[in-house]
Amino acid sequence: MVAEGGTATRRGAEARQRLVSAAADLFWRQGFAATSLADIGNAADIPLGNIYYYFRSKAALADAVAAMMEEEMQAALCELAGFYADPRQRISALIELLEGSSGMRAVQGCPIRRAAAEFRLPAPEASARAGKVLADMRAWLEAQLVAAGLAGEEAAARAGECLALWQGGIAVAEARQDEAPLREALAAMRRRLAEPPPQAGSTTF
C-alpha cells in the first residue's frame, strides 16, 4: 500500500507538472484568453474533467505558471551566483543566457511580460507574481553591480536601464519578427553594464 500510494503521488505530481508546463507554453504562444482548459488538457494528455482535480480554474493554473517562472528565474540566478565568484562574470553569463533565447523571444515575445499583462484582470495575484520575476532580475543585476564596485544609486539606474533595454528589444523584435533588434539591445546592455564607475578607473565585463 505504501508503494502504491507513493506511485500515485508521483503520478499526480507528474500530471500536475504537465498541466503547468502545457499552460505556460499555450499562454505564451496563443495568449491567456484564447487558451481553454480543454486546450491545456489536450496538450498535457489529461482529460478535461481530471484537470479540476489539480486546478479549480484557469486562474489557478495562471498562478502556478507564474510560480514556475519565479522558481526558474531564482534557480538560474542562484546557479550563476554559485558558479561564478566574480560578479562581472555573473553578469556576462546572464547576458549569454538571454542571448540564447533571443530567437524564441523574437517570434513569441517575453512570456514573463505577457503573463504579467494578460493575467492582470482574470488572475491579479498571478500577474503580480509574474511581474515580480522581472523585479527580482533587476534587483539581482543591481546587487552584482554594487559588488563590482558601483555606488548604489548608479547600480540601480543601470540595472533599470538594462532591463528596459532587454524588454524593449524583445518588443521591437517581436513586432518585426526579426531577431536583430533584440541582439542589438543585448549588445547595448552589455556595453552599459561594462561602463566604469563615474570618475573611476575602467571596469570591464
The pair phi, psi for residue 34, each rounded to 5°, is -80, -5
**118 shares a domain with 201:** yes
As a dihedral over the C-alpha atoms of residue 36, residue 39, residue 43, residue 47, rounded to 10 degrees, the angle is: 90
C-beta of residue 197 within 8 angstroms of C-beta of residue 147:
no
**139 shares a domain with 103:** yes
Residue 16 has pLDDT above 50, yes or no: yes
Cα–Cα distance, 92 to 80 (Å, whole number):
10
Q: Could you tell me the residue range of the domain that residue 50 belongs to?
A: 1-56
Q: 102-128: buried (b, 16+ CB within 10 Å) or exposed (e) per residue?
A: beebbeebbbbbbbbbbbeeebeebbe
What pLDDT, on the 0 to 100 scale, is given for residue 11? 85
Last residue of a domain, one of 29, 56, 83: 56
**67 shares a domain with 5:** no
What is the average pLDDT across 28-35?
A: 96
pLDDT band at 4 (very low <50, low <70, confident <90, very high): low
pLDDT tens readout for residues 165-193: 999 999 999 999 999 999 999 999 999 99
**44 shares a domain with 99:** no
**88 shares a domain with 49:** no
**71 shares a domain with 44:** no
**111 shares a domain with 85:** yes
Per the listing, cell 543585448 goes with 186
**131 shares a domain with 36:** no
Nearest to 66 by CA among 109, 127, 8, 7: 127
CATH number where 11 lies: 1.10.10.60
**87 shares a domain with 7:** no
**173 shares a domain with 79:** yes
- The distance between the two most distant Cα atoms of the chain, rounded to a whole number of Å, is 70
Percent of the chain with pLDDT over 70: 94
Residue 37 has pLDDT above 80, yes or no: yes
Residue 93 has pLDDT above 70, yes or no: yes
pLDDT band at 2 (very low <50, low <70, confident <90, very high): very low
Question: For the chain, how many residues are written?
Answer: 205
What is the average pLDDT across 145-151?
A: 94
**42 shares a domain with 87:** no
pTM: 0.88
Per the listing, cell 547595448 goes with 188
Cα–Cα distance, 163 to 95 (Å, whole number):
11
What is the average pLDDT across 6-18?
A: 86
Q: How many domains does the chain have?
A: 2
Average pLDDT score over the chain:
92
What pLDDT, on the 0 to 100 scale, is given for residue 90? 96
What pLDDT, on the 0 to 100 scale, is given for residue 1? 43
Residue 97 burial (CB count, 10 A): 12
C-beta of residue 189 within 8 angstroms of C-beta of residue 166:
yes
pLDDT tens readout for residues 106-142: 999 999 999 999 999 999 999 999 999 999 999 999 9
**68 shares a domain with 162:** yes
